Chain A
Amino acid sequence: MKTIFAESVPGRSSGFFESTAPSAAQMLPAGLLRACPPCLPECSELDVVRHFTRLSHLNYSVDANFYPLGSCTMKYNPKFTEYAAGLPGFARLHPLLAQLGRGAAQAQGALRCLYETERLLCEITGMEAFTFQPMAGANGEFAGVSLMVAYHRAKGRKRSKMLIPDSAHGTNPASAALAGLEVVNIESREGMVAPEVLAASIAEYGDNIVGLMMTCPNTLGLMELHLPAIVAELRKIDALLYYDGANMNAILGKMRVGDVGFDVVHLNLHKTFATPHGGGGPGSGPVGVNGRLLPFLPVPRVAMGKDGGFFLDSNLPLSIGAIGPFYGSFSVVVKALAYMLRLGGEGLERVAEYAVLNANYLKKRLEDTLDIPFERPCAHEFVASAPEGLRALDIAKALLDRGFHAPTVYFPLIVRECLMAEPTETESKQTLDAYVDVLREIVEQGRKDPASLTAAPLSMPVRRLDETAAARRMALTEDM
């Protein structure tokens, strides 16, 4: 498809904004003005609407396709939450209004949304407080790691090592490094963090360890079975335990991370709490802490006064500062709150149950089609390897041809030719069965005629693209 720049017609305009103001040249010295106007598309409104409507047709999406992308929790995004977040009373509210004298009175509805969401998330996770400033999961990781560092610093320690399992998402080591820490890789044993491996790292790095970042259930879709021992090991050296909330959908109502010894957690509202992924964002990565880390949270925090009114409180002397400009991705938080209120406690527990049921059902039904490395029941997702002789990438592309989005491929890195599927609770048995049928057909076809799979996809807007050539000869804009 042509780009919108190629469709531009000189002199055309949507006519959206007309005005009779004087020109910039009449208001500012020439030396402060740009030489020529930016070369933006010149289009009618219909040109723009048609272009982007057609572009949208080139996408797979949850609303149109099964999207079992592991670790991403591509569940259905209920529409009423969009309505709630889009109400003009929220959309038009300037974030600084609440920070002005007498201004908080003008933002009571918005402040209450944040306050109530914090209370609910605390109840769900067993934590004492949340900050909403982090704007995505990785941003939450950075905030959480910064809180851990601040905790040790307040005790007069300068610790520099973060323990991270080899199965972790790449964001974990990247976030720890961004916060100035060195990463110590913890090798998985039978897909899990083993207390003896942990103990060896502790013996080596001793009280230079900030903490351990865990994903639980981990990225292999397995519950960690040694949590109590892990918690005990870390407590011995007053190291902290971080919970990566990417897989929270598996434990809602079944385990509270605060109860079992985690000190800090980030949640992905755009995964567990059904806010849309938007083609890669915006997310929201609120961070919850127990009492040990609460004094270090970013400011301002939403507080309730004696009169029941809400206000912003910046009086936290040990605060790490500001992770975001204001109160995080507010409208994403509103959507998550709407979702939680709709489902209630019982509904949220059902979410975990059916998410785990769907994953185990899919895993069971695919046992004779894919190589499944772990026999244990899985959590909300499971890993499988492409059968000997077939490549995960080819299977992924063949799925696209049949109307299904592919599972996550080649992650986690420790599984050969990995296909990691997370069906979520919102998919029906019929959809799962259809997916099983299609996968069987693909594997059968691959066994008979391997070359036919490497040709896939055939029916999408483009065939496989030459990523190597794209990286070597960068064309990153219309002008390169």
Chain B
Amino acid sequence: MSNTPPDILYSKTHEWTRLEGEEAVVGITFFAQESLGDVTYVELPQEGDSLAAGREFGSVESVKAASELVSPVSGTVIAVNASLENAPETLNTSPYGDGWIARVKLSAAPVGLMDAAAYEAHCASEKH
């Protein structure tokens, strides 16, 4: 799998979202998991939580770092990936697949997100 799949949208804070009609799946990017290192814990939102784009909705921890999850979309959480509780390493091995974090029923169309090319440029600028 590519490190920046083309079919999804990206945020500056390194979350991704895949739009599926009125719903969206949310996770963290390859770049995010790589800079965190081995993920040891994911603090998940709860079903029913309302998310606002640009606001924190959970966090990810490794041994040496912690990072807040910032929602790329606005809406209501309709499912969370509970398997991450016991297997946080999935975020490292499959950030765009089995490592998805939450499924959201959108309350508004997402704005200000990047496509894969723009995101790659964004990551390149952050490395320097």
Residues of A within 8 A of B (CB): 410, 467-468, 471-472
Contact = CB atoms under 8 A, between A and B. Distances in A.
Given A468-B37, A471-B40, A472-B89, 12 more contacts: A410-B64, A467-B63, A468-B38, A468-B40, A468-B62, A468-B63, A471-B41, A471-B61, A471-B63, A472-B40, A472-B41, A472-B88
Contacts of A471: 40-41, 61, 63
Contacts of A410: 64
A12 B31 CA distance: 57
Interface residues of B, number: 10
A467 B89 CA distance: 14
Contacts of A467: 63
A467 B62 CA distance: 10
Q: Main SS of chain B's interface residues?
A: loop
Contacts of B40: 468, 471-472
A475 to B, nearest CB: 14
11 contacts: A410-B64, A468-B38, A468-B40, A468-B62, A468-B63, A471-B40, A471-B41, A471-B61, A472-B40, A472-B41, A472-B89
Q: Main SS of chain A's interface residues?
A: helix
A471 B88 CA distance: 11
A467 B64 CA distance: 9
A468 B40 CA distance: 6
A356 B61 CA distance: 38
Contacts of B64: 410
Interface string B23-63: 00000000000000110110000000000000000000111
The 4 closest A-B pairs by CB, nearest first: A471-B40, A468-B38, A467-B63, A472-B40
A200 B70 CA distance: 27
Best-surrounded residue of B40, B62, B88, B89 (most CB of chain A within 10 A): B40
A471 B66 CA distance: 13
A410 B37 CA distance: 15
Contacts of B61: 471
Contacts of A472: 40-41, 88-89
B64 to A, nearest CB: 8
A171 to B, nearest CB: 16
B58 to A, nearest CB: 17
A58 to B, nearest CB: 22
A175 B88 CA distance: 30
Contacts of B88: 472
A159 B61 CA distance: 32
A410 B63 CA distance: 13
A472 B87 CA distance: 8
A467 B61 CA distance: 13
Interface in B66-94: 88-89
A473 to B, nearest CB: 10
A472 B38 CA distance: 10
